[in-house]
């Protein structure tokens, strides 16, 4: 970064400070991860200079010899990872990927069944503040008192609502989805089936969770989070929807793809095909289960009962009398980063909710294992119990810095 340091000291210093923050703290936000040095290099490559509107072999500008190479590599590797019939790697992120899919499949006013946000669903699955909810008619389904999706109730709702699209997927739900039952219900009511696997794509690629791609008509995902690639999106689908999806992505929704990002996606997908990635995915599930059990030991209330993936949702207000925002702020002071989060039918505001969401993908990338998760939960509990004691928090901060030095990031 010699050139950057010389030319723009302010930006250079911000990058150095962020690097230090990441090294001296630990990331427990379920949607974040650390990419490899190889992914970072591809992301910062000369492909950022190139406009490549269109698709491999059918571009609108010349000079596409090598852009086609990296996009084809990304597509073929994704197909191999997920056993997908068709892949589009051009979406800039997860929210655009979902909008592209909706646009390809629906007309304004069409009905979509998606998971309620407070029950673990995603903002783009029908929350009123989003553009998609202003265009399409979303109805939300919820979990039951046991923290599960009641598929009999879901089928009853689907028969009543008759949606054009049935949408599975989540951002804060810690249980697994019955793919077969979900898609059977969609077929019964004549709906297209779609799932957003943004959070669990890496666990699927690493064969730690069942692959939903063969079951669903459309599958969207981000390429960061558990998949450990650059910040971006991807759509996989059955061949019958391929033309509609591609046309919706370009020219329908986006202009030129970000070829540096696609090159980095290709690198990340290549890494996910390595045997070591399977071990990584398995370790995530081990760490997540220890996270759940240790939190229960300190009498934290686990929403949805337990975890079956990479994260837990905790009702900290109900179990400790501390709001999600208060705990997030206090943990930030000691270098432990997570996010406040609503719980099902939360009576509190989304800006100061009852819960926090905790995930282990990033710390697992750094090499942390079960015994390390035990230590981390101990700190979380200590912060919760001493949330207004700055002296205690400063002491924990020193311990966290020392601990994190044992798990170095990028050189």
Residue tagged active-site, from 164, 225, 325, 357: 225
Q: How far is CA 78 from CA 37, 52, 87, 266, in A?
A: 20, 20, 7, 8
* Six token digits for residue 279: 């071990």
Residue 225 bears catalytic tag: yes
Query: Could you give the 3-state DSSP secondary structure of residue 118?
Result: helix
Q: Which of the residues 111, 148, 231, 286 is marked catalytic? A: 231
Is residue 366 part of the annotated active site? The answer reads no
- The reply to whether 282 belongs to the active site is no
Strand order in the sheet with 301-303: 301-303, 311-315, 355-359, 339-341
Q: Which of 143, 183, 220, 222 is catalytic?
A: 222
User: Kind of pairing, strands 111-115 and 137-141?
Assistant: parallel
> What separation in angstroms does the CA of 190 have from each of 30, 100, 139, 183?
34, 21, 16, 10
Which residues touch 83 (CB under 8 Å, ≥6 apart)? Answer: 211, 213, 214
- Which is catalytic among the residues 24, 50, 51, 278? 51
- Looking only at the bridges linking them, the beta strands covering 233-237 and 86-88 are antiparallel
222 counts as catalytic? yes
DSSP tag of 323? -
Residue 161 is a catalytic residue: no
Give the integer Cα–Cα distance in Å for 377 and 383.
10
Rounded Cα distance, 121 and 125, in Å:
7
E strand residue ranges, 240-326: 301-303, 311-315
Is 231 a catalytic site residue?
yes
How far from 263 is each of 68, 89, 210, CA to CA, in Å? Answer: 10, 10, 27
**Which residue in 12, 24, 53, 399 is the catalytic one?**
53
Tokens, residue 24 = 């001296």
Give the integer Cα–Cα distance in Å for 381 and 409.
26
H-helix segments, 146-274? 151-161, 179-188, 201-205, 242-247, 259-272
Catalytic, out of 196, 292, 294, 372: 196
> Are the C-beta atoms of residues 262 and 231 closer than 8 Å to each other?
no
Q: Report the catalytic residues.
A: 51, 53, 196, 222, 225, 231
């Amino acid at each position: 970064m010699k050139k950057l340091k010389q030319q723009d000291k302010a930006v250079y210093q911000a990058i150095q400070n962020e690097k230090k923050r990441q090294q001296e703290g630990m990331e427990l936000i379920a949607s974040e991860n650390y990419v490899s040095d190889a992914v970072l290099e591809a992301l910062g490559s000369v492909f950022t200079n190139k406009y490549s509107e269109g698709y491999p072999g059918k571009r609108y500008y010349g000079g596409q010899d090598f852009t086609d190479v990296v996009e084809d590599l990304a597509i073929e590797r994704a197909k191999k990872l997920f056993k997908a019939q068709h892949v589009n790697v051009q979406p800039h992120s997860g929210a655009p990927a979902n909008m592209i899919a909706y646009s390809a499949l629906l007309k304004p006013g069409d009905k979509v069944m998606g998971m309620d946000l407070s029950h673990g669903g995603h903002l783009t699955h029908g929350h009123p503040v989003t553009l998609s909810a202003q265009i399409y008619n979303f109805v939300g389904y919820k979990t039951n008192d046991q923290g599960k999706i009641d598929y009999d109730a879901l089928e009853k709702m689907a028969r009543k609502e008759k949606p054009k699209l049935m949408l599975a997927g989540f951002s804060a739900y810690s249980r697994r989805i019955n793919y077969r039952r979900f898609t059977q219900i969609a077929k019964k009511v004549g709906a297209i089936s779609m799932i957003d696997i943004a959070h669990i794509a890496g666990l699927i690629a690493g064969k730690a969770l069942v692959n939903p791609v063969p079951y669903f008509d459309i599958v969207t995902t981000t390429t960061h989070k558990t998949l450990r690639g650059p910040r971006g999106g991807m759509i996989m689908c059955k061949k019958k929807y391929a033309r509609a999806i591609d046309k919706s992505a370009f020219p329908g929704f986006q202009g030129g793809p970000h070829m540096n990002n696609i090159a980095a996606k290709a690198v990340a997908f290549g890494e996910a095909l390595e045997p070591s990635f399977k071990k990584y995915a398995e370790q995530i599930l081990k760490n997540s289960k220890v996270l759940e059990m240790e939190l229960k030991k300190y009498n934290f209330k686990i929403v949805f009962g337990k975890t079956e993936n990479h994260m837990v949702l905790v009702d900290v207000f109900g179990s400790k009398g501390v709001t999600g925002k208060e705990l997030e702020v206090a943990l930030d002071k000691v270098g432990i980063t997570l996010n406040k989060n609503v719980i099902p039918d939360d009576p509190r505001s989304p800006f100061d909710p009852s819960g926090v969401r905790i995930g282990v993908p990033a710390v697992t990338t750094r090499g942390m294992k079960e015994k390390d998760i035990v230590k981390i939960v101990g700190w979380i509990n200590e912060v919760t119990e001493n949330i207004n004691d700055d002296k205690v928090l400063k002491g924990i901060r020193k311990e966290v810095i020392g601990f994190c030095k044992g798990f170095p990031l990028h050189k």
